[in-house]
Structure 1
Amino acid sequence: MDELPIGRRVAYWRGRRKMSQQVFADRLGKSKSWVDKVERGVRRLDKFSVVYEIADVLQVDVQLLLGKDVERRPETQNCIDQVEVEEIRAALERYDQMSAFFQAVPHSPPLTEMRKAVSHAWLTYQHAKYGVLARMLPKLLRDAQAADSAYATGAEAKDAAHLLGQVYQIASSALRKVGEHELSWLAADRSIAVSQRAGDQLLAGLASYRVGSALLALGRVRPALEVNVNIANRLAPTQFTEQDVRGQRLSVYGMLLLNGAMAAARIGDSATVRDLLCGAEQASLELGGDFNHYWTSFGPTNVQLHRCATAVELGDGRTAVETHEKIDVIGFNAMLPERRAHHFLDIARGYTQIGNVEKASEMLLEGDRLAPSEIRCRPLAHEVLSDVLRRTRGTPPAPIAELAEQMGVGV
Structure 2
Amino acid sequence: MTGHDWNPDLAHTDRSEHTGQRIARVRKLRNLSQEGLATLANVSRSLIAKVESGSKPATPSLVAAVARACSVDPAEINGQPYRGTDKRSDAVHATIPAIRMALAYVDVAPELDMPPRTLDELALELVRLQKFQKAASHIRLGALLPAVLEELTVQVMESDAPRAWRLLNRAQSLAGSLARRLGYHDLAQVVVERTSVSAQRAEDPHLPHLVSLGRARLLMTLGSWDVALKMIKQTAGKVDQDNPVSTEVFGSLHLSAAIAAARAGKVSDAWEHHGTATEAAARVNPRDRRDPYGLQMNPGNAAIHGCAVAVELGDSDQAIRLDQGVDLAREKVTDERRAHHELDMARAHLWANDHDKALKRMIAAERTAPQMTRFHPSARETVRQLVRVHRRVPEPLRVLENRMSL
TM, length-normalised to structure 1: 0.74
The structure, 1 or 2, with the larger RCO (C-alpha pairs under 8 Å, 6+ apart) is 2
- Aligned to 1:92, the other structure's residue is in SS state helix
* Amino acid of the structure 1 residue aligned with 2:100: R
* Amino acid of the structure 1 residue aligned with 2:228: A
The separation in 2 between residues aligned to 1:347 and 1:90, in whole angstroms, is 38
Aligned to 1:273: 270
Query: Shift of residue 3 of structure 1?
Result: 11
Residue segments in structure 1 that go unaligned for 5+ positions in a row: 5-9, 11-58, 62-69
* Amino acid of the structure 1 residue aligned with 2:307: C
Deviations 1:87-124 (A, max 9, x none): 212222222xx126xx9x99432111110111111111
Which shows bigger deviation, 190-199 or 120-129? 190-199
The separation in 1 between residues aligned to 2:402 and 2:392, in whole angstroms, is 13
Whether 1:261 and 2:258 are equivalent positions in the alignment is yes
Question: Rg bigger for which structure?
Answer: 1
Query: Shift of residue 291 of structure 1?
Result: 6.0
Deviations 1:325-350 (A, max 9, x none): 11144432x32211101111111111
Contact conserved, 2:328 with 2:338, CA < 8 A, in 1? no
Aligned to 1:150: 158
Aligned to 2:100: 89
The separation in 1 between residues aligned to 2:308 and 2:330, in whole angstroms, is 17
Aligned to 1:202: 206
- Aligned to 1:326, the other structure's residue is in SS state coil
Aligned to 2:381: 383
Which shows bigger deviation, 184-193 or 287-296? 287-296
Aligned to 1:365: 363
Residue segments in structure 2 that go unaligned for 5+ positions in a row: 10-79
* Amino acid of the structure 2 residue aligned with 1:270: V
* Amino acid of the structure 2 residue aligned with 1:283: A
The separation in 1 between residues aligned to 2:151 and 2:238, in whole angstroms, is 32
- The match for 2:342 among 341, 344, 348 is 344
Whether 1:135 and 2:143 are equivalent positions in the alignment is yes
Deviations 1:25-49 (A, max 9, x none): xxxxxxxxxxxxxxxxxxxxxxxxx
Deviations 1:158-214 (A, max 9, x none): 000000111111111111111112212321231122112112121222222222111
Deviations 1:300-356 (A, max 9, x none): 111111111111111111111111111144432x32211101111111111122222
Aligned to 1:161: 165
Contact conserved, 1:107 with 1:146, CA < 8 A, in 2? no
- The match for 1:72 among 64, 87, 108 is 87
- The match for 2:404 among 400, 404, 407 is 407
Whether 1:99 and 2:108 are equivalent positions in the alignment is yes
Aligned to 2:69: none
TM, length-normalised to structure 2: 0.75
The alpha-carbon distance between structure 1 residues 136 and 272, as it changes in their structure 2 partners (threshold 3 A), is same
Contact conserved, 1:179 with 1:378, CA < 8 A, in 2? no
Aligned to 2:249: 252
Query: Shift of residue 76 of structure 1?
Result: 4.6
The separation in 2 between residues aligned to 1:322 and 1:360, in whole angstroms, is 15
Aligned to 1:229: 233
Q: CA RMSD in A?
A: 2.9
The alpha-carbon distance between structure 1 residues 120 and 224, as it changes in their structure 2 partners (threshold 3 A), is same
* Amino acid of the structure 2 residue aligned with 1:381: A
Query: Shift of residue 268 of structure 1?
Result: 0.1
The separation in 1 between residues aligned to 2:328 and 2:362, in whole angstroms, is 18
The separation in 1 between residues aligned to 2:81 and 2:126, in whole angstroms, is 31
Aligned to 2:324: 325
Corresponding pairs, count: 329
